[in-house]
Every structure is written in structure tokens, then in C-alpha cells.
Chain A
Amino acid sequence: MSGRRGRSSAPEVVPPAEFTSYYGRPVLHEPTWKALDIAGYLFLGGLAGGSSLVAAGAQLTGRRRLTRVAKVGSTVAAGLSLVALVHDLGRPERFLHMLRMVKPTSPMSVGSWVLAVYAPTSAVATALDLAGRLPVLGALATGGTAALAPALASYTAALVGDTAVPAWHDGHREMPFVFVSSAGASAAGWALLFAPSSEAEPARRLGIVAAVAELASSRVMEQRMGMVGDAFGTGRAKRWRTASTALLAVGTLGALAAGRRRRPLARAAGAALLAGSACTRFAVFEAGRESARDPRYTVVPQRRRLDAQTSRPVSGVMPARTW
């Protein structure tokens, strides 16, 4: 058989023209998930998890107003994320099918259980705090949500990584760190937005650290994906990514400049961090869709892997198309 793929001597450069597909059709099916539901779910899960940890820290250090703000944030986010999930399923009773079994090979199964326990516990913690009743039970519920929070904030990285979608799967090493830093930034943003400046200092520090980590881990992830990282610089993903970068940078600088005293600036920084974190999730979601839609992202890395294994001789012949 004649080779159809001319290759340059530098193996890391794979021009888009050098691959074959079936009429340019995708190999994979694009995820059928709706962007607002599922990218929104990724964001809300992070916000809930991060806020529960902030609530626990605030309660332990006697910051009562920050505690309340964070608890309300976690419960609102958990409730909305359940709404998003159920909306994506189409019919509410279908969520119950998630609870037929516990399946460690399915991050969605694991996540459904985490959320099914977390959401009511968080609601109890918040309700008791608002009512000022049963402090021991409230503390137990707060501790319970804080124990589940790291799992809630991070498992969605395995959820998207555990697919054949190139821009999701190929990021599976760094995605957990992108997602938890995004969770931290959003929770800090929420707290800066609504908590009084006398108690918001931990949130300000967390926001700065998390936003910088989010920016850095996102870049590392895209770099390590190689050509698949191009999906983040294409179409909708590119716009979300640009917005996310700008908002996180503004949020970080704002939080730095605000210090302990400048309340309006701290609030604005909080809003920017919250929005930037959401944009990161939408960028990941859209990059995944783009990478599933374009067969290049599926075929080229696999073909290169295969050719490296079989060390097929390189041919200089390169017809334009096979059809």
C-alpha cells in the first residue's frame, strides 16, 4: 500500500492536512449534554464543595458571618447543581435510577452518591445556622459537608476525563488540579462578594492562591495535551478561555489591591473570581465538544501512536484526499 501521509522530520509537528477521515465526519459522538446544565454543574459542584470547606474553616475560627455566607453558598450551589442534573436527564424520577447501584468504574455513579448525601447534609447545616438552633447537630452537619466537600469539588475531573473525548481524556492528569483550584477560586469569590471585610481575609488569600493555581494548571494542561490542546484555542472554547483568563487575572489583582479594607474593590474582585471560575468550566466543556466534533483530534494522535509502535517507514507521497 502506498503511504498517504507525508511527515516532516520533526515528529511533534502534525499539520492538519495530514490525516484521513471519512468525509470529514467525526469519529466520536459529540457529548449530548447541554452546556448550561453540565458546564454549569461542573461549576456549581466546585462552588458548593469549596464553600463547605470555607464554612468549616470560618466556624472553627469563630467567623460567624463568613460561616453563614459560605453555608448559604454551598446549599444554593448544591441545590442548583441537582436541578441542572435532573434537567439534563429530562425527567426527574430518572435520577432515582442513579441510586440502583454504586459503581466505582463510573464517576457519575460515585458523584451521584456524593451529591445525594452532600446536598441534604448541607441543607441541614445551613438551615440550623440560619435558625440558630441545635448547634451540636449543626456542627456535625457542617463537619459532614466539609468531609465530603473535597470529593464533590474534584470528582467531576474524573467524570469528564473518563470519556473518549480527546480534550477531556488527554487532560486527565491535570484536570483534577484545574477543577479544585477553580472550586477554590469560586468559593473565595462568593465569600468576598457577600461576607463583611472584617471576616473575609481568609477568602481573599484563598482567592489569590486558587486563581493563580487555576491559571497555571490550565496552561500546563493545555501544553501537555500537545495538538489536542488546540481545541482550547478554537471557537467557543477560545472565547470562554479568554474571558476566564481575563476575569481571573482581574480578580487576583483586585484581591491583592483591595487588601483588608477596601470593601467595594474586594467585592468586585470576588465577582470576577466567581465569573472567571465559571468561564473555566465552560471553556473545558466547549473544548471537549470541539475535540469530539473534529476527527483530527481523534485520528492524528492515534495514528501517530500506532506508527510509533510499528515504526512504519515514512513515505513522501501525500495525496490531498482519499475520496
Chain B
Amino acid sequence: MRVVSVRVQNGQDPALASGYADAPARVGFFTDTSICIGCKACEVACKEWNHVPEDGLVLTGMSYDNTQRLDANSWRHVAFIEQPKRLARELTAGTVDADGGLRWLMSSDVCKHCTHAACLDVCPTGALFRTQFGSVVVQADICNGCGYCVPACPYGVIDQRRGDGRAWKCTLCYDRTKDGLTTACAAACPTESIQYGPLDELRERAAKRLETVKADGFAGARLYGESPDDGVGGQGSIFLLLDEPEVYGLPPDPVVTTRDLPSMWRRVGVAGVALAAAVGAAFVGTRR
């Protein structure tokens, strides 16, 4: 039994902060949704490689999205959003009105492998750990199914598997990463919408791509999770989105819950002392 307390500072490499003496470059994803074609090859490749169980075949009516969300049995999820909007090229040509038409957004969502990972912070057993690559992984033999990570995640990624009780999520293909391979989803992506590699490089690539897409007339294009100064210290999986994050089911300004934990502990301490004082006063002030 040992005491474990890791705090990653903003801008710090999470693997180094977690105690790896000589960590390789942090790796992650850049998901460029502007070239996602909604083929779901990433979902299939992930399930195949990681032996993720089947979780029901239902038709939802949510465009082509029958996966519905990330959870214990879906580690990649392709969102489909149909909007009554024109495409950027039609608009820049100036020949049509902005309204009407159909714009079909597709985006492959995945675990964000946060710099400040709430799931990892709150895990009481140490089942969730930081790898040398900076990713966040659950050890299935250590997880005791307490479920604390599930409501801690500000993105609704990690989830408990029914009938098993343990928590599961994307591992950033830890087994493949260790062998220098690209992740299953990125390898399967036919358009390179999903790119895997050193995070610094991906951030540069994302910034350049954003300029191109904006120049093409997609005024709503933006990067999501790329800033090391955001509420989770920057995501390990960054995205280029064509609309606001909440359109894709992503939280617009997520904050790691443990940021407020020191203040919570202080207040818990004050409240505990207040309780003891109240009970003491009830006895002190009372005659027999």
C-alpha cells in the first residue's frame, strides 16, 4: 500500500509529471471532421482489434448514427448531424441564400486522453493509470467496478460494462503504441480524418488545416481541445470541428472536476469540525 498523489501542471508533459523518468513523446489523435465520410471503419477496426463486445443492433433514426454514444462497448463513435445549411463553397460563390440546403456533419469521437484526467484522479484503486505515452488506460484486472470514473468524466466517455461491472474505454491502442504501430482506428480510416502521432506535431498540423478550411469558406470551423490552457489542460485527442462542440454532443467548456478538490477538502474539514462542535455544544449546554 502506498500513497499516490500526482498533480500535472498546465503545459507539463503528463507522463513526466506522473513519474516516468524518460518518457517518449506524448502521442494522441487529431480527428479532422471536415474530411470524415461517416464510413465507421474506425468503429469496426476498434472493436475488432480490442475485442470490444457487440452491444445491440438498433435503429435510432438519428441520421446514420446507430451507435449513439461512447461507452464501455463503443470506444469510437461516429456522430451524424444533418443541418438545413448550405455548404461553404455554395455560400462563398454568392449564388445562394444561407438557409435551406443540407449540410451533413460527421465526426468520429473518442476518449480525449486529457492532460488533467478526472477519471484517473478519482480512481480509488489505481486501475486507471497514465502510460509513458501520456495516454490514460484502465487495467481490467485492477478495476473493482466502483464506477467513480463514470460521472467524473466531463465528456461522458468511460462507462461501466453490464454484466462485468468494470470500466472500459479507449486505450489509445496501448499494445500497438508500444510496438510503434498506429492505432487501429487511424490505420483503418480511409480519408485520414483520424490521424495518430506525436501530439506536438498533430497540433501544428491541426492549426494549418484550420487555416485551409477557413479559407475554403467554413467560417464556423474551429479546433477543439488543442489549447493547453483549457479546463482539462489540453486534450490528447484534438478535433477540427465545423460547428460548435455541443452540436456534436461535446461539452463546450469542460473542466476537470478535481481542479476544485483542494477547496472541497477544506470545506469538508470545516464542516466536520462544525459537526463535532455542534454535538459538543448540545452536551455542554444541557443540565441533567
Residues of A within 8 A of B272 (CB): 150-151, 153-154, 176, 180
Residues of B within 8 A of A206 (CB): 278-279, 282
Q: Which residues of A are found within 8 Å of B286, using beta-carbon distances? A: 201-202, 205
Chain B residue at minimum C-beta to C-beta distance from A99? B1
Specify which chain A residues have a CB less than 8 angstroms from the CB of B285 in the assembled complex.
205
A280-303 interface bits toward B, Cβ cutoff 8 Å, 1 = contact, 0 = none: 000000001000100100110011
Which listed residue (A94, A150, A323) contacts B83, Cβ 8 A? A323
Contact status B257-A50, CB under 8 Å = no
**B-side contacts of A210, CB under 8 Å:** 278
In the complex, whether B197 has a CB less than 8 A from a CB of chain A is: no
Interface hits, A265-323 → B, CB 8 Å: 288, 292, 295, 298-299, 302-303, 305-306, 319, 322-323
**Is B264 in contact with A89, judged by CB distance below 8 angstroms?**
no
Contact pick for A106, options B71, B123, B160, CB 8 Å: B123
Of B27-35, B38-46, B180-188, B246-254, the one contacting chain A is B246-254
Q: Are A161 and B264 in contact (CB under 8 A)?
A: yes
Q: Please state if B247 and A322 are interface contacts (CB–CB under 8 Å).
A: yes
B95 lies within 8 A of chain A by Cβ: no
**Any B CB within 8 A of the CB of A172:** yes
Shortest CB distance B164–A (Å) = 9
User: Counting CB contacts under 8 A, is B58 at the interface?
Assistant: no
Please determine whether A32 and B278 come into contact, CB atoms closer than 8 angstroms: no
Q: Which A residues lie within 8 Å of B280 (CB)?
A: 53, 57
Q: Does any Cβ of A come within 8 Å of B226's Cβ?
A: no
> What residue in chain A is nearest B266 (Cβ atoms)?
A176
Contact indicator A179/B271 (Cβ below 8 Å): yes
- Asked if B2 lies at the interface with its beta carbon under 8 angstroms from chain A, I say yes
The 0/1 profile, CB within 8 Å of B marked 1, for residues 237-256 of chain A is 00000000000000000000
Are the CB atoms of A28 and B151 closer together than 8 Å? yes
- A230 contacts B by Cβ under 8 Å: no
Known: A103-B4, A201-B286, A205-B285. A108 touches B267 (CB 8 A): no
A22-B81, A206-B279 are known contacts. Are A302 and B254 too (CB-CB below 8 A)? yes
- Give the secondary structure class of A's interface: helix
Give B96-151 interface residues, CB cut-off 8 Å to A: 98, 118, 121-127, 142-148, 150-151
Residues from chain B with a CB closer than 8 A to the CB of A223 are none
A1: nearest chain-B partner, CB-CB: B220
- Kindly provide the distance from the CB of B5 to the nearest chain A CB, expressed in whole angstroms: 5
Contacts A1-B219, A177-B271, A322-B81 given; indicate if A101 touches B142 (C-beta within 8 A): no
Provide the bound-state CA to CA distance between A30 and B151, in Å.
Answer: 6
CA distance A213 to B265 in the complex (A): 20
Q: Does A105 contact B (CB under 8 A)?
A: yes
Q: Closest residue of chain A to B118, judged by CB?
A: A164
Asked if B265 contacts A158 (CB within 8 A), the reply is: yes
A contact residues around B145 at 8 Å (CB): 89-91, 94
- Quick check: A306 and B153 within 8 Å, CB to CB? no
Q: How far is the CB of A277 from chain B (nearest CB, A)?
A: 13
Q: Which A residues touch B81, using CB under 8 A? A: 22, 322-323
Q: A106–B3 Cα gap in the complex (Å)?
A: 11
The answer, yes or no, to whether B79 is at the interface (CB within 8 Å) is: yes
Complex Cα gap A151–B276 (Å): 10
Given the interface pairs A61-B283, A150-B275, A164-B154, the reply to whether A176 lies near B270 with Cβ below 8 Å is yes
Does A164 lie within 8 Å of B2, measured CB to CB? Answer: no
In the bound assembly, the distance between CA atoms of A1 and B257 in angstroms comes to 31
What are the 6 closest A-B residue pairs judged by CB atoms, nearest first?
Answer: A22-B249, A150-B272, A176-B271, A1-B220, A94-B144, A109-B124
- Please name 20 pairs of A and B residues whose Cβ atoms are closer than 8 Å in the assembled complex, sorted by A: A27-B250, A32-B159, A33-B147, A53-B279, A89-B145, A98-B125, A100-B1, A157-B264, A158-B265, A158-B268, A162-B264, A168-B151, A169-B257, A172-B260, A202-B279, A205-B286, A209-B278, A303-B252, A303-B253, A323-B83
Q: Which residues of B contact A (CB under 8 A)?
A: 1-7, 60, 62-63, 65, 68-69, 71, 79, 81-84, 98, 118, 121-127, 142-148, 150-160, 165, 219-220, 243-244, 246-254, 257-258, 260-261, 263-265, 267-276, 278-280, 282-283, 285-286, 288
